[in-house]
Amino acid sequence: MIDPKNIHCLALNYKGVGNNKTEPLYFVKSLSSLCFDNATIKYPKDSNSLWSEVELGVVIAKDCHNLTENNVEEFIEGFIVCGDITCDNIHNRDHHLGFSKSRNNYCPISSNIIKIDKEILMSLTLKTIINGEITQVGNISQMNYNPYQSLIYISSFIKLKKGDIILTGTPAGVENNILKVGDIVIHEIDQIGQVSFKVKG
């Protein structure tokens, strides 16, 4: 069972995203945003735009801090598929993205934790599919900080707790993932699985 204490997230962590910055941005999503497959997402009444991004999630196996390349893999329980749902910035006041990213069910995840070899993981393809049409495609090899480096990076300034989830960023193409009421969205990662949700009014 996936039961995180925190949901840690990285942004601008893929090549070609965010003016080619090499160090990702860090933010958090609320535990209220967590949901599972076949969830329903409400279109926000106070925002004019809603979108979702496919991301590889890392589940933490045990409490850890200041991880290194030598020990990081022993603190990984496995991997899941995540969606990072966002609505537009409310009156340009939401500079920490709290209202934009942490609303109810704004973090759909697959429920099976998958263990997979590092070499295979680094070659996997991520996709977003909206109403049966592929709108976003990328590869984990395009990350600036790979999943293991992402954990080392975050754990250097925050203690990670057993069960925590790390969202590792999304590849280019999210501008194609603008959602409307009635859309059915699938986020998918080869050999990891998929998570789906529906947008309602």
164 has a pLDDT exceeding 70? yes
Tell me, yes or no, whether 114 lies in a domain.
yes
Torsion of CA 28, 125, 39, 168, to 10 degrees: -10
User: What pLDDT was estimated at residue 80?
Assistant: 98
**Helix (H, G, I), strand (E, B), or coil: what is residue 182?**
coil
Q: Is residue 94 very low, low, confident or very high in pLDDT (cuts 50, 70, 90)?
A: low
Tell me, yes or no, whether 87 lies in a domain.
yes
Q: How many helices (H) and strands (E) does the chain have?
A: 3, 12
Structure tokens at 89: 């910035």
pLDDT in tens, 99-134: 899 999 999 999 999 999 999 999 999 999 999 999
Please state the three-class secondary structure of 152-174 as a single string.
HHHHCCCCECCCCEEECCCCCCH
Tell me, yes or no, whether 165 lies in a domain.
yes
pLDDT in tens, 2-31: 999 999 999 999 998 876 667 899 999 999
Rounded distance between C-alpha atoms, residue 91 and residue 174, angstroms: 22
| Contact of 16 with 151, CB cutoff 8 Å | no
Rounded distance between C-alpha atoms, residue 54 and residue 109, angstroms: 10
Tell me, yes or no, whether 185 lies in a domain.
yes
Tell me, yes or no, whether 89 lies in a domain.
yes
Range of the domain at 160: 7-200
Q: Is residue 91 very low, low, confident or very high in pLDDT (cuts 50, 70, 90)?
A: low
Of 147, 124, 143, 136, whose CA–CA distance to 177 is shortest?
Answer: 136
Torsion of CA 178, 106, 194, 141, to 10 degrees: 70
For residue 170, the domain's CATH number is 3.90.850.10
Tell me, yes or no, whether 1 lies in a domain.
no
Tell me, yes or no, whether 2 lies in a domain.
no
50 has a pLDDT exceeding 70? yes
pLDDT in tens, 31-43: 999 999 999 999 9
Structurally, the chain folds into a number of domains equal to 1
Whole-prediction pTM value? 0.95
Rounded distance between C-alpha atoms, residue 66 and residue 68, angstroms: 7
Tell me, yes or no, whether 90 lies in a domain.
yes
Rounded distance between C-alpha atoms, residue 105 and residue 128, angstroms: 17
